[in-house]
Amino acid sequence: AVTSPLGVVRLLVLLALRLPLAAARGVLSFLFPSLFWKSVQGEVVYVTGGAGGIGKLMSQKLARLGAHVVLLDKNVDMLAAAKKEVAAVAAKGVKVHSVEVDLADRQATYAAMEKASELAGPATMLINNAGIVTGKSLLEGSDDMQELTMAVNSTAHFWTVKACLPAMMEADHGHIVTIASSAGLCGTPGLADYCASKAAAFFFDESIRMEMRKQGKHGVKTTCVCPFFIKTGMFEGASSKWPRLLPLLEPEWAANKIISAVRCNQEVLVMPFAIHLAPICRAILPVSVCDATVEWFGVLDSMNDFKGRGAGGKAPYPVGSSVKTRSSPKVA
């Protein structure tokens, strides 16, 4: 038994051996990430929300590195343009496909994943990047938009992963990437639905990682990304009280960090570094002190001037829209 004297000794020996190695690898991969990079050449990567923002940037970088890419998104016009942009920078021989999908619709999502497999082959890497934000308080937000936020930001992950994971497990080779958020680590006014959806995505990723560990599928990796606000327009108007400590992230920088973390098989990427304080404070500080710390960081007012990009921009799920679903994907 684990609680027996021998079990305790084994645990202590395991910790004594693994902790220094894990710490050393973490420091080295942070300072010299290229030493640990794996090749993505020939991988088949599905990217949800691939028509714009971070999704498109990651797709371009992966295509440059020799990965075949399938862009999945709801906005048909943006999808067609993104496909051309990704193909324009892709390495020789790389194939780029696009599939329209409404991730709020379970059947449409499974159909789109099947179509992606027909076009490019089974995914060896899945990047669950698609996301929406309403930026409204709990009582101001509509039921439809709150349900839609949960569906796109977290529930759809169940469907996309279930579509891709069996082939990955059979080959004992694959990578599931979850773009969560720092909002999944710390509650924020005006983001109740978004925070809940990203917390769900974070722990969904952790559960998948534990399932792969339990089943001995060590070749199937997972990476969960928890960034602060990225300046893609999605969080237009959001602010940081301490921009040196908690800067709004540049999309190019963020995309580079994500791709580097994936290539290093890094399990969790939190950026910027100060965001690590959120779970630490929650674990060791009284709730009242933790709440006061969050207020000092300016989190309570970070969404005061939020505008987002839904009202006038090309957003697949504009803020205030009704939930619309489709039963079959369109292929570009």
Residues with a catalytic annotation lie at 194
Alpha carbon distance 2, 221 (integer Å): 27
Written as six digits, the tokens of 229 are: 């606000």
Written as six digits, the tokens of 83 are: 């496909």
CA 126-166-259 angle, to 5 degrees, is: 20
Residue type present at position 43: E
How far does the chain reach from its first CA to its final CA, in angstroms?
Answer: 57
Q: How far is CA 265 from CA 34, 38, 92, 129, 328, in A?
A: 12, 8, 25, 17, 34
> Could you tell me how far CA 147 lies from the centroid of its own chain?
19
Provide CB contacts within 8 A for 119, sequence distance 6+.
Answer: 70, 97, 99, 331
- Contact 280/186 with Cβ under 8 angstroms? no
Residue with tokens 């909002």: 183
> Among 168, 100, 166, which residue's Cα sits nearest to residue 325?
100
What are residue 199's phi and psi, to 5 degrees? -65, -40
What does the DSSP 8-state code read for residue 155?
Answer: I
What does the DSSP 8-state code read for residue 41?
Answer: T
> Among 181, 175, 97, which residue's Cα sits nearest to residue 132?
181
Residue type present at position 287: V
The radius of gyration of the chain's CA atoms, rounded to the nearest angstrom, is 20
